[in-house]
Amino acid sequence: MGIEGPMYTCPMCGEPLTIVYNKGYLKGRALEGFRGRGVWRYSPMLPFEGDVKPVSLNEGDTPLHRSLRLGGKLGLEELLLKNEGLNPTASFKDRGMTVAVTDAVRRKASRVICASTGNTAASVAAYAARAGLKSYVLVPSGIVARGKLAQAVAYGARIVKVRGSFDEALEIVMETVSRDGDIYLMNSVNPYRIEGQKTLAFEVWEQMGGRTPDWLVLPVGNAGNITAVWKGFKELTEVGLTQRTPHILGVQAEGASPLARAFEMGFDELVPVENPETYATAIRIGKPISWRRALAAARESGGSIISVSDDSILEAQKTLARMEGVFVEPASAASIAGLEKAMEDGLIGDEDSVVAVLTGHGLKDPDSAIRMGVEEVEAEPGPEALAMALGV
């Protein structure tokens, strides 16, 4: 049986579609209140009516740690760390995937597909397995971190390593889906992905006791998450739950920073980066599909999109692990490197409250940590040898 009518992009302009609610309707639903946990706690703000059976692995409900040392080092009064690495497949992608796979099942899809730098692949594979669907994941050959690949293998995805970039892999996937209407698309051009991911904003607002931060900082690759988070905060104001939205700061890696450049130059066009390069492989993307919505999020929120060097990303990854006990993958550390740069540039001030979104767990990319520099020695199993090795 064919899939029942999913649409991803506008047939006129080709832009990704956005789910827009009637304001009165959404407000009425929000007034019903939020019950339960995680992403599905916010069901009244999600595009399902009546009896839905969520395909869930208990995603969302991730900790918002108060920084104990790093904020002080940066001179910040309030730094909060949103640890999205504690989702079921260890990245924020699960928020979108639970909603999109639930939609896929509702539409009677049996196969799902995505292009990915790794985390989307892992998450798609897991939620497809949970729903009993077949998954196909296309990843750029040679750059995907080992932990992510291991996940996709374990969950039984069919993995295709494309000899090309993420951007090329996404183009092939989009073409495949437009030719074969029976394969359901799981990339963030799918509006249900954005709906799930917007719950990050709702959760931050609730965890801060009904406040919103002055700034929310997050890494940007294909630009789905910045789109989603901004949509979430805007909806909170539309339904009257808050008056203030945060400034959104998107952070790209220098070698893959078409959005930072467009923002800086005030462009309304995207000049793609043909051969994106960065050590933060999750965000090695030269042609973000949601570029227009990302620029809008930064501009409307009074925020910005900036870029940071790979060296500063690696330094931030290490500092975060050692000062806060939170181990993230390199792309996630871009949030911290970007925050530091924005403070140096005077964009973010000492008195601002900041939420840094840490998008993926460090174990996703164990090689990046090993390269931090090894502080280990071998010793014979005796007390003297041990004392020598420890230097005590």
Considering the complex, what minimum distance in angstroms separates the CB of residue 53 from ligand F0G? 26
- End-to-end C-alpha distance for the chain, whole angstroms: 70
| Nearer residue to ligand F0G within complex by CB, 30 or 167 | 167
| Nearer residue to ligand F0G within complex by CB, 193 or 247 | 193
Token representation of residue 350: 């000492």
Considering the complex, what minimum distance in angstroms separates the CB of residue 145 from ligand F0G? 9
Considering the complex, what minimum distance in angstroms separates the CB of residue 87 from ligand F0G? 11
Residue 180: how many CB atoms within 10 A of its CB?
A: 11
Cα 247–Cα 253–Cα 258 angle in degrees, nearest 5: 80
Considering the complex, what minimum distance in angstroms separates the CB of residue 28 from ligand F0G? 30
Residue 31: how many CB atoms within 10 A of its CB?
A: 11
Secondary structure letter of residue 15 according to DSSP: P
| Nearer residue to ligand F0G within complex by CB, 239 or 282 | 282
Considering the complex, what minimum distance in angstroms separates the CB of residue 168 from ligand F0G? 13
| Nearer residue to ligand F0G within complex by CB, 186 or 239 | 186
| Nearer residue to ligand F0G within complex by CB, 239 or 340 | 340
| Nearer residue to ligand F0G within complex by CB, 241 or 356 | 356
| Nearer residue to ligand F0G within complex by CB, 213 or 360 | 360
Considering the complex, what minimum distance in angstroms separates the CB of residue 332 from ligand F0G? 5
| Nearer residue to ligand F0G within complex by CB, 151 or 241 | 151
Q: Assign 3-class secondary structure to 115-162.
A: ECCCHHHHHHHHHHHHHCCEEEEEEECCCCCHHHHHHHHHCCCEEEEE
Name the burial class of residue 339, with classes exposed (0-12), middle (13-18) and buried (19+) by CB atoms within 10 angstroms of its CB.
buried
Give residues in contact with ligand F0G (CB under 6 A): 91, 116-120, 188, 219-226, 282-283, 329, 331-332, 359-360
User: Which of 87, 130, 89, 96 has the alpha carbon at shortest distance from 114?
Assistant: 96
| Nearer residue to ligand F0G within complex by CB, 191 or 360 | 360
CB hemisphere CA count around 45 (13 angstroms): 33
360 and 85 in contact (C-beta within 8 Å)? yes
Considering the complex, what minimum distance in angstroms separates the CB of residue 77 from ligand F0G? 26
Residue 136 phi, psi dihedral angles, 5° rounding: -120, 130
Residue for token pair 């793609």: 272
Helix locations, the chain, DSSP H: 23-31, 70-74, 93-106, 119-131, 146-154, 166-179, 191-197, 199-207, 224-238, 258-265, 291-300, 310-324, 330-344, 366-370, 383-390
Token representation of residue 103: 């939609």
| Nearer residue to ligand F0G within complex by CB, 90 or 239 | 90
Considering the complex, what minimum distance in angstroms separates the CB of residue 123 from ligand F0G? 8
Residue 190 phi, psi dihedral angles, 5° rounding: -75, 120
Token representation of residue 197: 């991911």
Tell me how far CA of residue 69 lies from CA of 73, 84, 333, in angstroms.
6, 20, 16
Considering the complex, what minimum distance in angstroms separates the CB of residue 10 from ligand F0G? 19
Considering the complex, what minimum distance in angstroms separates the CB of residue 359 from ligand F0G? 3
- The widest CA-to-CA distance across the chain, in whole angstroms, is 75
